[in-house]
Amino acid sequence: MSAAKSKSGDFLLAVEGLTVSFDGFKAVDDLSFYLDPKEIRVIIGPNGAGKTTVLDLICGKTKATSGSIKFDGKELTKLKEHQIVHSGVGRKFQTPSVFEDLTVFENLEVSYPKGHSVMGALGFKRDAEVIKAVEEVAETIFLTEALNEPAASLSHGQKQWLEIGMLLIQKPDLLMLDEPVAGMSVTERKKTAELLRVITRDHTVLVIEHDMQFVGDIADRVTVMHQGKVLSEGSIEHVKSDPKVIEVYLGH
Amino acid sequence: MKSSSPLKWFATREGLYYVALAVLLVVLLPLALDPFRLNMVGKYLTYAFVAIGLVMCWGKAGILSLGQGVFFGLGGYCMAMFLKLEASTPEATAIQSTPGIPDFMDWNQLTELPWFWEPFHSFSFTLLAVIGVPVLLAFVIGFAMFTRRVGGVYFAIITQAIAAILTILIIGQQGYTGGVNGITDLQTLNGWDIRTDEARTILYFVCVGMLFLCLFVARLVQNRKLGRILVAMNAQENRVRFSGYDVAAFKIFVFCLAAAFAGVGGAMFTLIVGFMSPSFIGIVASIEMVIFCALGGRLSILGAVYGALLVNAAKSGFSESFPELWPFAMGALFIGVVLAFPNGLAGLYQTYVMPLEDKIFKRNKGAQLEAKPAEKAAEPKPTAEKTSDYDPMIDSYSPEKS
């Protein structure tokens, strides 16, 4: 897949002129990129390039100084975090953030997209539909055996999967993953790649990753960021052979 | 462990804990204590309402409020205003320069009832206000703080400041509030004299009834998804937010719930003790309430009840013999709890007593299963039956639950 089909306005995500400055420092500087539906995009770049900040801006954790983020026709920069989630954007954080005091089942149940208001959560029933959804997701993320375990007892890799599962059960259109294989063992990495391949069949995915092997495995297109701007964009081969990218990121 | 009928629930371990508390409060204490002591226990129990609220708000959701005395006081003052108006009939206050208004207003040269006292002529309005006024204030504070993401220590300090402000306001506005003396000389409730031994005993039982009502509301909240979200919010606020929840709304809800419990407790306090004064609602009183909750176990609503009972009983015992030592004893108690057993009495119970119960329970359970082998075979996933199923703290997942 290359950058051929880009003029029709029906992108799933259109980021245009996005800028955020912290006390004058522009962490993201006039950034624009576009995601097609069902695309798998990987953002790479050196430390401090602004990759995580981009995800923060999309999911509303950080407010943009200027620019626009259009998702499925909606302007996200004006919405609150939970409204952005409801419009179909799921975000996984870099360090696994699961609810350690709850069981794996409860973690997934809390993430199930029903009963989001206070009264809804009070009236929420654990019906067959919920149990089925939880069991399906648990199967996808290799945690069927651990459903009754408290999340605190999971390994690092399993927590990462659980958090991915917590996103999946929300049925988002866009999944954003921040370094999903960081700190994983080789076997866990393989299983995660397998998991991502399953996920990407019916989701649009935006991933931040450093592991170039892994990036090559999963990416449709790669965006290289440097100092808050897009340095290069295209297929993995294109990016790898771009002299600018070699200069600042990949090394000679 | 299905609670298919409400009666069956009482035979579960959790149900038995509630039964045990009910037996203690409804049967044992009334039999063992004279009306005076029973009235004291009733007074301690009114603090248990606050402690239950703190379990939900602080223990579960992680919002430490050092100003629960404010809500306790508002509930208490609402009830006291009603009782005071009833006691201030024109006949009873004929010697005042303005008959028909509360005595302290007359002493402070007020010549007519202030407008905000007027609705407290109505008993039904008073009952609404006992819950409504604390909840309204909690909502305003919660809305202002939580939508701006003020939390943790900052929130605790602000609630403490509010407790100080309310005390100063009440003491300063003597003509409207009774000042430092509070609202005293309360006599009848809708014509029923609340000062007799018999009335006090009845009020004690009303208090126990209300307490169980609050316990069941709290239990309902903690066992629903709402309760799990509160716990989840405590540990990973951002994850909850990015799972599509409006975190501020949940915080406001639980803070208002705690305020409602405290308001009911305050109203019961006024009825049982017979007066209300600023000393029960200020900074010190509010911190004591946190200690009741911490000692009982800040994750257990039943623990909070025992915490309130024990600390208050100890306080009375100590104060009767060595009044000057009590503050030190209480300080030591708090430090002890924080250092040695952070989950309070409920935590100790879980660690040391529950394993013993497990042994007894399992033996019985085994016998039961042998007696009904057919039922066991019919269950689709017997593996889901684990020891954790009996843990009242965890509403564990089992697929056959609906």
Percent of chain B with pLDDT over 70: 89
Mutation to test the A interface, candidates B224, B245, B251, B401, most A Cβ within 10 Å: B245
Inform me whether the pLDDT recorded for B344 exceeds 60. yes
Q: Are B209 and A51 in contact (CB under 8 A)?
A: no
Q: Is A122 on the interface with B (CB under 8 A)?
A: yes
Instruction: Identify whether B401 is part of a domain.
Output: no
Sign of the C-alpha dihedral computed for residues A101, A104, A107 and A110 taken in this order? negative
pLDDT tens-place string over residues B269-296? 999 999 999 999 999 999 999 999 999 9
Q: Check A115 against B225: CB less than 8 A apart.
A: yes
Inform me whether the pLDDT recorded for A1 exceeds 80. no
Maximum distance among all alpha carbons in chain B?
Answer: 83
**Stretch A1-8: mean pLDDT:** 40
pLDDT at A89: 95
pLDDT tens-place string over residues B47-103? 999 999 999 999 999 999 999 999 999 999 999 999 999 999 999 999 999 999 999
pLDDT at B33: 93
Cβ-based burial of B206 (10 A; exposed 0-12, middle 13-18, buried ≥19): middle
Q: Check B231 against A101: CB less than 8 A apart.
A: yes
pLDDT at B386: 36
Top mean-pLDDT range of A54-63, B369-378, B387-396: A54-63
Which amino acid belongs to residue A81?
E
H/E segment holding residue A26: strand A25-35
**Stretch B34-53: mean pLDDT:** 96
Q: Check B242 against A91: CB less than 8 A apart.
A: yes
Q: Are A204 and A198 in contact (CB under 8 A)?
A: no
**Stretch A183-211: mean pLDDT:** 88
Distance set, CA B278 to CA A118, B72, B77, B245, B267 (Å) = 34, 11, 9, 38, 14
pLDDT at B13: 84
Q: Nearest Cβ partner of B236 from A97, A125, A148?
A: A97
Q: Which residues of B touch A56 (CB under 8 A)?
A: none
For residue A236, give how far its alpha carbon lies from the nearest alpha carbon of chain B (Å). Answer: 30
**Stretch B301-320: mean pLDDT:** 92
Q: Check B401 against A126: CB less than 8 A apart.
A: yes
Q: Is B225 on the interface with A (CB under 8 A)?
A: yes
Q: Is A126 on the interface with B (CB under 8 A)?
A: yes
pLDDT at A63: 93
pLDDT at B393: 41
Q: Check A105 against B243: CB less than 8 A apart.
A: no
**Residue with more model confidence, B96 or B402:** B96
Distance set, CA A183 to CA A42, A104, A108, A188 (Å) = 18, 21, 23, 9
Q: Which residues of A touch B220 (CB under 8 A)?
A: 122
Q: How far apart are CA B315 and CA B388, in angstroms?
A: 36
Q: Is B242 on the interface with A (CB under 8 A)?
A: yes
pLDDT at B224: 92
Q: Nearest Cβ partner of A81 from B221, B232, B242?
A: B242
Q: How far apart are CA A183 and CA B114, in angstroms?
A: 68
Instruction: Identify whether B1 is part of a domain.
Output: no
Instruction: Identify whether B389 is part of a domain.
Output: yes
Lowest mean pLDDT among A43-47, B156-160, B275-279, B397-401: B397-401
**Stretch B206-234: mean pLDDT:** 95
pLDDT at B23: 95
Q: Say what the ipTM of the complex is.
A: 0.87
Inform me whether the pLDDT recorded for A9 exceeds 80. no
Q: Which residues of A touch B3 (CB under 8 A)?
A: none
For the packed helices A104-111 and B225-235, what is the interaxial angle rounded to 10 degrees?
Answer: 100
Q: Nearest Cβ partner of B229 from A121, A163, A170?
A: A121
**Stretch A3-22: mean pLDDT:** 75
Closest residue of chain B to A152, computed from CA coordinates: B235
Inform me whether the pLDDT recorded for A2 exceeds 50. no
Q: Are B305 and B296 in contact (CB under 8 A)?
A: yes
Which amino acid belongs to residue B101?
I
**Stretch A151-173: mean pLDDT:** 93
Q: Is A59 on the interface with B (CB under 8 A)?
A: yes
Inform me whether the pLDDT recorded for B389 exceeds 90. no
Mutation to test the B interface, candidates A57, A61, A82, most B Cβ within 10 Å: A82
Number of domains in chain B: 1
Mention every residue, 6+ apart, whose C-beta is less than 8 A from residue B387. B358, B362
**Stretch B341-350: mean pLDDT:** 90
Q: Nearest Cβ partner of B238 from A97, A107, A121?
A: A97
pLDDT at B368: 55
User: Among candidates B103, B75, B110, which has minimal Cα distance to B87?
Assistant: B103
Mean residue pLDDT of chain A comes to 89
Q: Is A222 on the interface with B (CB under 8 A)?
A: no
Q: Check A99 against B235: CB less than 8 A apart.
A: yes
Closest residue of chain A to B225, computed from CA coordinates: A121
Q: How far apart are CA B107 and CA B112, in angstroms?
A: 12
Mean residue pLDDT of chain B comes to 88
pLDDT band of residue B380 (cuts 50, 70, 90) is: very low
Q: Check B225 against A116: CB less than 8 A apart.
A: no
pLDDT tens-place string over residues A168-179? 999 999 999 999
> HSE (CB half, 13 Å, CA atoms) of B116?
7
What is the separation of C-alpha B186 from the centre of its chain, rounded to a whole number of angstroms?
Answer: 23
Q: How many CB atoms lie within 10 A of CB A217?
A: 17
Q: How many CB atoms lie within 10 A of CB B241?
A: 23
Q: Which residues of B touch A96 (CB under 8 A)?
A: none
Q: Nearest Cβ partner of B235 from A80, A101, A124?
A: A101
Instruction: Identify whether B109 is part of a domain.
Output: yes
Q: What is the pTM of this model?
A: 0.88
Inform me whether the pLDDT recorded for B370 exceeds 80. no
For residue B396, give how far its alpha carbon lies from the nearest alpha carbon of chain A (Å). Answer: 7
Instruction: Identify whether B246 is part of a domain.
Output: yes
Instruction: Identify whether B402 is part of a domain.
Output: no
Tell me, letter by letter, the H, E, C secondary structure of A123-134. Answer: HCCCCHHHHHHH
Tell me, letter by letter, the H, E, C secondary structure of chain B. Answer: CCCCCHHHHCCCHHHHHHHHHHHHHHHHHHHHCCHHHHHHHHHHHHHHHHHHHHHHHHHHCCCCCCCHHHHHHHHHHHHHHHHHHHHCCCCCCCCCCCCCCCHHHHHCCCCCCCHHHHHHHCHHHHHHHHHHHHHHHHHHHHHHHHCCCCCHHHHHHHHHHHHHHHHHHHHHCHHHHCHHHCECCCCEECCEECCCHHHHHHHHHHHHHHHHHHHHHHHHHHHCHHHHHHHHHHHCHHHHHCCCCCHHHHHHHHHHHHHHHHHHHHHHHHHHHCCECHHHCCHHHHHHHHHHHHHHCCCCHHHHHHHHHHHHHHHHHHHHHCHHHHHHHHHHHHHHHHHHCCCHHHHHHHHHHHHHHHHHHHHHHHHHHHHCHHHHHHCCCHHHCCHHHHCCCCCCCCCCCC
Strands across the sheet with A204-208, in order? A89-92, A174-178, A204-208, A40-44, A221-226, A229-234
Report B:49-108 residues touching A (Cβ under 8 A): none
pLDDT at B4: 55
pLDDT tens-place string over residues A236-249? 999 989 999 988 88
Q: Check A148 against B231: CB less than 8 A apart.
A: no
Inform me whether the pLDDT recorded for B402 exceeds 70. no
Q: How far apart are CA A131 and CA A77, in angstroms?
A: 34
Lowest mean pLDDT among A6-15, B66-75, B349-358: A6-15
User: Which residue has 């003790």 as its token pair?
Assistant: B273
pLDDT band of residue A194 (cuts 50, 70, 90) is: confident
Which amino acid belongs to residue B202?
I
User: 3-class SS at A185?
Assistant: coil
Q: Are A12 and A71 in contact (CB under 8 A)?
A: yes
Q: Which residues of B touch A159 (CB under 8 A)?
A: none
Q: Which residues of A touch B224 (CB under 8 A)?
A: 121-124
Q: Is B45 on the interface with A (CB under 8 A)?
A: no
Long-range contacts from B345-353, C-beta under 8 angstroms, 24+ separation: B345/B295, B345/B296, B345/B297, B345/B303, B345/B306, B345/B307, B345/B310, B346/B296, B346/B297, B346/B299, B346/B300, B346/B302, B346/B303, B346/B306, B347/B297, B347/B299, B347/B300, B347/B303, B349/B297, B349/B303, B350/B393
For residue B287, give how far its alpha carbon lies from the nearest alpha carbon of chain A (Å). Answer: 27
For residue B133, give how far its alpha carbon lies from the nearest alpha carbon of chain A (Å). Answer: 21
Q: Which domain holds residue B177?
A: 6-396
Lowest mean pLDDT among B67-71, B136-140, B191-195: B191-195
pLDDT at A183: 83
pLDDT band of residue B355 (cuts 50, 70, 90) is: confident
Lowest mean pLDDT among A113-117, B40-44, B244-248, B320-324: B320-324
How many angstroms separate the first and last alpha carbons of chain A?
A: 27
**Stretch B183-204: mean pLDDT:** 93
Q: Check A148 against B250: CB less than 8 A apart.
A: no
